[in-house]
Amino acid sequence: MNNNIIQLENVTISFRVPHEKIPTFQEYAIRWLKRRRVSYTYFNALNNVSFSVKKGDTVGIIGSNGAGKSTLLKVIAQVIRPNQGRLYVEGRIAPLLELGAGFDYELTGRENIFLNGAILGFSRKNIADRLESIMEFSGIGEFIDAPIRTYSSGMVARLGFAIATDTQPDILIIDEILAVGDTDFQKKSAKRILQYHNDGSTILVVSHNLDSIKNLCNHVIWLEHGLVKNTGPVDDILNQYLQKDHPAD
Amino acid sequence: MPKYDSAKRPPLIIDEFFQLIRYRDLVILIIENILKSRYKRSTLGIFWMLLNPLLQTIVLTIAFGTMFKSSLPNYAVYLLCGLLIWNYITQTTQYAMVSMTQGGGLLRRIYIPRATYIVASAGNGLINLLVSIASLAIIIFFLNHPITLSWFFLPISILILTMFTLGFALLLSTAAVFFNDTVDIYQVLTQALFFLTPIMYPPSILPTEIGKYLIWNPIIPLIDIFRIPIYNNTLPDMDIIIKAIILATIMLIVGWTLFTNKADQVIYRL
């Protein structure tokens, strides 16, 4: 796989959408007795998507709403399995798609660090070793032993970010440019991401903010209706995107 | 460096198993959190776990104990043995279904092994069973019911029961994801099955024309392998043990295979 850290070959994600909803046994049985088959339509969220990302690249993913950007990130993060095609990923992924996924609001900040850490695939011992640094970066301070239902939403997001990014990942996946916590924390988190980038992490970003894509990325993938419209260096693709799709802008 | 290649993914039934081992700390944490959240807030704490089956047994013994005085001496022991196993199977499976359908949103947001919640439910149920055995021991102590070497068979019984329960939970959870009314149907069916299973009564009270169908009740051998060593102080007959083992093995294989093969679609359905 030479030096590609991520490689997708003809990846297709199709959702089966039934024309009529039959979510119960009861209705299913009635239909079966009446010998009425359920008809489905298939919706391709991603259609034959192929591209590769080299180690250390910073890749922006652009496209209008419903183009399949978030689905693509979920495929790479292995949340959704492709129906067809092949996905190859090398290295540990830090998905910043859902900060604090699985947080239990009745548990304390400390307990949630372990829970969220385990959800991200870390062992308990590994989290215990890094507990101090996570707590410090999150800036939660003395509230760490209070249930997180007492936290502000900014504090919850800060804690989630601190856990997800505590160790340097090989691949960092970011959905929308992070707006975590207050301005200070936003600066701090942006600094950390840049640091990881300089240290060799590969970064994938989905954003509608073309300026931040331009600043952060060297490569862009342009998706439209689940298809790759074009890929290439950031300036070329952004120009095409602005001209062809948004002539009015 | 970990590598993932969808083309080189091992068969689903094996893949899920290895993923669960990789995420074992998560499974353990979820079990701890279930126990914590359930017992942290009540002042009785862990004693509630002991008290609950005790109270249940006392009430039912007062109500029915005299009826079976001659056929079932130490009725409370007989009753509680059956109840513990019945509760273990039904509560675990129901908990698994609910945590899969309601808590399963997490599966759509981040990768964790799809069976995580179900295995955690089974683990939680097993801990509840082990704690309840302590309350059974209290009753045995008070009634002066004999304890013999046949108790050494219990770890095997519990292993068989756990295999069955996990398999059943996987099967039902898969169904629950695809059909919303699984939980409701299951509740009605288990209620009926409860009265068709000799838990509160001895099998001998059933009229023969009904009694002969009892061999088709799959729960009976599963209760027997636990109840006979404790209540009758002997080992269960070989044919009961074999029945229970076959049943548990088939259930686990069917449940595991079905779940792991449908697990990728679960994401689209939750």
Chain A residues with beta carbon closer than 8 angstroms to that of B262: none
Contact with chain B for residue A168, Cβ under 8 A: no
Rounded to a whole number, what is the distance in Å from the CA of B85 to chain A's nearest CA? 28
Q: What is the mean pLDDT of chain A?
A: 87
CA atoms within 13 A on the CB side of B68: 24
To the nearest 10°, the Cα dihedral for B29, B32, B38, B39? -150
Q: Cα dihedral sign for B261, B263, B264, B270?
A: positive
Q: What are phi and psi of B206, to 5 degrees?
A: -75, 140
Considering only A159-163, A184-188, B22-26, B188-192, which range has the smallest mean pLDDT? A184-188
Give the residues across from A9 on adjacent strands: A86
Name the residue among B202, B200, B194 with its Cα closest to residue B60.
Answer: B200
Residues 6 or more apart whose CB falls under 8 angstroms from that of A21 comprise none
Query: Is B22 close to A121, i.e. CB distance below 8 A?
Result: yes
- Report the chain B residue with the minimal C-alpha distance to residue A173: B110
A84 touches chain B (CB under 8 A): no
Q: Which of B121, B72, B130, B78 is nearest to B97 (CA)?
A: B121
Cα–chain-centroid distance for residue A157? 15
**Of the candidates A128, A127, A158, the residue with the CA atom closest to the CA atom of residue A140:** A158
Determine the average pLDDT of the residues in A33-54: 82
Q: Are B49 and B128 in contact (CB under 8 A)?
A: yes
Residue A173 has phi, psi (to 5 degrees) of: -110, 120
In this structure, what token pair is assigned to residue B78? 């007989």
Helices (H), chain B: 12-22, 24-39, 47-64, 75-102, 105-109, 116-143, 154-178, 182-195, 208-211, 219-227, 238-269
Which residue ranges make up each domain of chain B?
11-269
A14 touches B at CB < 8 Å = no
* Residues on chain A touching B11 (C-beta within 8 angstroms): none
CA distance B232 to chain A (A): 42
Identify the residue among A3, A115, A149, A175 best suited for mutation to test binding to B, counting B beta carbons within 10 A and taking the highest.
A115
The encoded tokens of residue A47 equal 């259609």
Given pLDDT bands bounded at 50, 70 and 90, which one contains residue B109?
confident
Averaged pLDDT of chain B: 90
Per DSSP bridges, beta strands B3-5 and A227-233 are: unpaired
CB contact under 8 A, A24 and B181: yes
Q: What percent of chain A has pLDDT over 90?
A: 47
Q: What is the rounded distance in angstroms from the CA atom of residue B226 to the CA atom of residue B199?
A: 12
| Higher pLDDT among residues A163 and A17, named by residue | A163
Q: To the nearest whole percent, how much of chain A has pLDDT over 70?
A: 92
Nearest to A51 by CA among A100, A88, A21: A88
Q: Is A211 on the interface with B (CB under 8 A)?
A: no
The alpha-carbon gap from B63 to the nearest alpha carbon of chain A, in Å, equals 37
Interface probe with B: pick from A7, A38, A79, A145, most Cβ of B within 10 Å: A79
What count of CB pairs under 8 Å joins A to B? 95
* Torsions phi, psi for A18 (to 5 deg): -70, 145
Q: In 3-state terms, what secondary structure has residue B50?
A: helix
From the list B5, B22, B108, the residue facing A79 with the nearest CB is B108
**Domains annotated on chain A, with CATH:** 4-56+63-92+218-229+236-245 (no CATH), 96-205 (3.40.50.300)
Q: In the predicted model, is pLDDT for residue A249 greater than 50?
A: no
3-state SS assignment for residue A230? strand
Q: What is the rounded end-to-end Cα distance, in angstroms, of chain B?
A: 32
Tokens coding B44: 């009785």
Q: How many CB atoms lie within 10 A of CB B28?
A: 14
Closest CB to B109: pick one of A97, A114, A115: A97
CA dist., res. A19 & res. A14, Å (int) = 15
Q: Would you say residue A17 has pLDDT above 90?
A: no
Would you list which residues of chain B are within 8 Å, Cβ to Cβ, of chain A? 1-7, 22-23, 25-26, 28-30, 33, 36-37, 106-112, 175, 178-182, 185, 264, 267-268
Indicate yes or no: CB of A91 within 8 angstroms of CB of B1: yes
Are A206 and A175 contacting, i.e. CB atoms less than 8 angstroms apart?
yes
Q: In this predicted structure, what is the pLDDT of residue A98?
A: 78
Distance CA B131, CA B126 (A): 9
A78 vs B1, B30, B111: nearest CB: B111
User: Which pLDDT tens digit goes with each residue over B122-167?
Assistant: 999 999 999 899 989 999 999 999 999 999 999 999 999 999 999 9
Q: In what order do the strands lie in the sheet with A58-62?
A: A93-96, A171-175, A202-206, A58-62, A219-224, A227-233
Q: Are the beta carbons of A61 and A68 closer than 8 angstroms?
A: no
Chain B interface disruption, residue of A11, A25, A106, A201, most B CBs within 10 A: A25
ipTM for the assembly = 0.86
CB within 8 Å: B29 and A106: no
pLDDT in tens, A87-132: 999 999 998 887 878 898 889 999 999 999 999 999 999 999 999 9
Which residues of A fall within a CB distance of 8 Å from B108? 79
**Residue A177's pLDDT is what?**
56
Residue A179 confidence class, pLDDT cut points 50, 70, 90: low
Crossing angle of helices B47-64 and B116-143, rounded to 10°? 60
Mutate to test the interface with A, among B3, B4, B23 (most CBs of A within 10 A): B4
Q: Pairing state of beta strands A219-224 and A58-62? A: parallel
pLDDT digits (tens, 9 = 90+) for B78-97: 999 999 999 999 999 999 99
Cα(A56)–Cα(A54) distance, rounded to whole angstroms?
Answer: 6
pLDDT for position A2: 62
Measured in angstroms, the CA of A174 and the nearest CA of chain B are apart by 13
Chain A environment of B3 (Cβ under 8 Å) = 88-91
Distance (Å) from the alpha carbon of B214 to chain A's nearest alpha carbon: 27
Does the beta-carbon distance from A88 to B7 stay under 8 Å?
Answer: yes
> How far, in Å, CA of A9 to CA of B192, rounded?
53
Dihedral pair phi/psi, residue A89, rounded to 5°: -135, 135
Angle at A139 between CA A134 and CA A118, to 5 degrees: 30
CB contact under 8 A, B106 and A101: yes
Token digits for A131?
């507990």
Mean pLDDT over residues B97-110, rounded?
Answer: 86
3-state secondary structure of A95: strand
Strand partners, A17: A41
More confident residue, A47 or B159: B159
The total number of residues shown for chain A amounts to: 249
What span, in angstroms and rounded, lies between the C-alpha atoms of A109 and A163?
Answer: 11
- Beta-bridge partners for A89: A6, B4
Q: What is the pLDDT of residue B264?
A: 85
What are the Cα distances from residue B151, in Å, to A218, B134, B198, B201? Answer: 69, 13, 21, 23
